[in-house]
C-alpha cells in the first residue's frame, strides 16, 4: 500500500482515482507472479493513445473483465480491436488517462500490466457459463469478409456469458434498475418500486435465455407449435420465474439484505387479467409444460386492457368493475412496435383479372393495427424460454386533426376509441347485437394477426409452402379461434397467390 501512495505522489493525474482502483493497484503490487507475455503495452503503435494488447486463450467474460479493470484504474478506452483466431484472443485497447493523454510514467505502466495480468489469470481460473455462439451470424460472412467476422466476434464477446446469479450480482442488478429504469433514488424506494426493479432484474435473465432459445429455433428450423387462445390465466410471473430459473433462494437472500421481504414484494404484482377460468388456466399450463419439455412453441392471445372484471361486494351483492391491471405498467412484457399487422373489417370484395387468373381483393371498410407484445415463458430447470405474443389494437389513423380543428372533438378520436375497444375487455357482454359483433371482431383480430405473423416467420426461411405442414402446427383452444380456418385460406390465396386446392391442402394438414 505504501508503494501505491508513493506512486500517486509521482503521478498527480492518477491521484483522483477512486478507492477501488487504489485497492486494485495495491493487490497488483503484492502479486507479481503472473503470465509473462499475456499483457503488453506500447506507446509506439498509436500517436494519441497507449496501446494495451491482451494475448491469451479466449474465455467467457474476459473482454468485460479487462474493460472493467481499465475503468477501475481510471483509464479511458477510446477504441478496442477484438481479434480471435484458433481460440486465441489478441485484443487491443487504445487507452488514455483522465487528461486524454498517453500513460508515460514507468511506474504507472508497470502497475497497469500487473493489474491486467492478474485479471487474465483470475478469469482463467473462473468457471463462467458460456452463452451459445451464434453460428448463423458467424457463418454468414464469406472468408474475405474480415470486417464482418470481426464485428460478429466482437458483438459475441461483449456478452458471451450469462448474468451471474450470486447474491451480490442480484443486488447490483436490482439497484441498477431502481436507479436507471424506474429513476428512483437507490437509497429510498418503497415495496412497489422494489417489485418493479426486482421484476426487471429477473426479466433480464429471462431475455438472455429467450434470445438464445429463439436464435436456436431459427437456426435449427424445427416444427413449431402455435397455441392460439382467447385467454391465458398465467397468474403472477415473478415467483414462477425465479422458481423455474432455480434462483428463488438467492433472490430471497438478496432482497433481505437490502431490507425487503420477498413475500411482500411478490404480493405487489397484479395478476395478469388475460384469462377467466379453466380455459385460460389450461392454456397457461400448456405453455409452461411445453417450455419445460423444450418444445419449440409459442402462445398467441390478446393483450386486454381491462381483462374480465374485478369483483366487489356492495351490500351483499356482486358488483363488476374494470380490472385496471396495467395502470402501473407490466415489467414482463416487451413491446414490439416493429411487429404490426393490418386487420380488416367490413367493406366489399372486388374482382379483377391478371394474366388469365381471377384475383379477389378485399376493400376494407375499417382497418386497425395489431401491435405485438412479447412475454417470456420460462421452463422448469431448463434454459429454454418460449414466448407468449399478445396483440393490442391501435387505429391506423389515431387522430383526426381536421375534425378537431372544426370543433368536433369527439369525432377526432372516434377511430382511436373504436380500435382500442377490440383489446379492451375479455368476453364483452354479448346479450346485445353490438356485443355479439364485438366478440366476433375480437376473434378475427386475434387469428388474422397471428396467422400473418406465422406466415411471415415461415416465409423468412422458406421460398415456398411445400414444407409448411411439416414446420407448423396450430392448436386452436376452444371454438373462439376457429374463424382462423377461413382466414388462413384467405391469406394463402389473396396475399400469397396460391390456388384454392393448394391452400385447402395446406390448411387441412
pLDDT for 1? 31
CA angle at residue 191 from 189 to 192, to 5 degrees? 95
Q: 12: exposed, middle or buried (C-beta count within 10 Å: 0-12, 13-18, 19+)?
A: exposed
| DSSP 8-state secondary structure symbol assigned to residue 422 | G
pLDDT for 242? 96
pLDDT for 139? 56
Q: Do 123 and 62 touch, CB atoms closer than 8 A?
A: yes
Residue with cell 501512495: 5
Cα–Cα dist 178/200, whole Å? 9
pLDDT for 428? 85
Q: Do 82 and 91 touch, CB atoms closer than 8 A?
A: yes
pLDDT for 32? 39
What pTM was estimated for this model as a whole?
A: 0.76
Cα–Cα dist 218/295, whole Å? 14
Ranges in the chain, pLDDT < 50: 1-36
Amino acid at each position: 500500500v505504501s508503494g501505491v501512495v508513493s506512486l500517486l505522489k509521482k503521478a498527480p493525474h492518477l491521484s483522483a482515482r477512486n478507492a477501488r482502483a487504489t485497492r486494485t493497484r495495491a493487490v497488483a503490487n503484492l502479486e507479481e507472479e503472473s503470465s509473462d507475455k499475456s499483457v503488453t503495452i506500447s506507446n509506439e503503435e498509436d500517436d494519441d493513445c497507449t496501446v494495451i494488447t491482451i494475448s491469451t486463450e479466449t474465455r467467457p467474460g474476459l473482454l468485460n473483465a479487462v474493460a472493467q479493470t481499465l475503468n477501475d484504474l481510471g483509464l479511458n478506452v477510446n477504441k478496442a480491436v477484438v481479434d480471435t483466431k484458433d481460440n486465441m484472443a489478441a485484443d487491443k485497447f487504445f487507452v488514455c488517462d483522465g487528461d486524454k493523454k498517453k500513460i508515460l510514467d514507468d511506474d504507472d505502466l508497470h502497475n497497469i500490466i500487473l493489474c491486467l495480468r492478474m485479471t487474465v489469470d483470475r478469469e482463467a481460473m473462473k468457471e463462467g457459463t458460456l452463452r451459445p455462439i451464434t453460428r448463423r451470424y458467424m457463418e454468414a460472412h464469406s472468408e474475405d469478409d474480415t470486417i464482418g467476422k470481426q464485428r460478429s466476434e466482437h458483438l459475441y464477446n461483449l456478452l458471451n456469458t450469462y448474468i451471474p446469479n450470486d447474491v451480490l450480482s442480484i443486488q447490483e442488478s436490482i439497484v441498477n434498475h431502481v436507479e436507471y429504469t424506474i429513476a428512483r433514488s437507490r437509497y429510498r424506494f418503497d415495496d412497489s418500486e422494489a417489485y418493479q426493479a426486482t421484476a426487471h432484474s429477473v426479466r433480464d435473465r429471462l431475455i438472455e435465455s429467450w434470445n438464445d432459445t429463439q436464435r436456436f429455433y431459427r437456426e435449427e428450423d424445427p416444427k413449431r407449435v402455435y397455441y392460439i387462445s382467447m385467454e391465458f390465466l398465467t397468474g403472477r410471473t415473478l415467483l414462477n420465474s425465479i422458481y423455474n430459473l432455480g434462483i428463488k433462494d438467492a433472490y430471497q437472500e438478496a432482497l433481505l439484505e437490502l431490507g425487503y421481504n420477498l413475500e411482500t414484494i411478490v404480493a405487489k404484482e397484479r395478476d395478469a387479467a388475460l384469462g377467466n377460468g379453466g380455459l385460460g388456466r389450461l392454456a397457461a399450463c400448456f405453455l409452461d409444460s411445453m417450455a419445460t419439455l423444450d418444445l419449440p412453441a409459442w402462445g398467441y392471445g390478446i393483450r386486454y386492457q381491462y381483462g374480465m372484471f374485478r369483483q366487489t361486494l356492495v351490500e351483499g351483492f356482486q358488483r363488476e368493475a374494470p380490472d385496471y391491471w396495467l395502470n402501473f405498467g407490466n415489467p414482463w412484457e416487451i413491446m414490439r412496435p416493429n411487429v404490426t399487422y393490418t386487420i380488416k373489417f367490413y367493406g366489399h370484395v372486388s374482382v379483377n383479372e391478371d394474366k388469365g387468373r381471377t384475383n379477389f381483393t378485399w376493400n376494407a371498410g375499417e382497418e386497425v393495427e395489431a401491435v405485438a407484445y412479447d412475454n417470456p415463458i420460462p421452463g422448469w430447470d431448463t434454459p429454454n424460454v418460449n414466448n407468449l405474443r399478445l396483440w393490442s389494437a391501435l387505429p391506423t389513423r389515431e387522430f383526426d386533426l381536421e375534425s378537431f380543428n372544426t370543433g368536433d372533438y369527439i369525432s377526432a378520436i372516434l377511430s382511436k376509441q373504436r380500435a382500442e375497444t377490440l383489446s379492451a375487455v375479455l368476453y364483452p357482454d354479448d346479450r346485445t347485437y353490438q356485443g355479439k359483433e364485438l366478440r366476433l371482431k375480437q376473434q378475427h383480430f386475434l387469428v388474422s394477426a397471428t396467422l400473418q405473423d406465422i406466415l411471415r416467420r415461415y416465409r423468412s426461411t422458406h421460398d415456398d409452402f411445400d414444407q409448411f405442414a411439416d414446420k407448423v402446427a396450430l392448436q386452436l383452444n376452444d371454438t373462439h379461434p376457429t374463424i382462423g380456418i377461413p382466414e388462413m385460406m384467405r391469406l394463402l390465396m389473396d396475399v400469397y397467390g396460391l390456388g384454392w386446392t393448394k391452400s385447402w391442402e395446406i390448411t387441412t394438414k
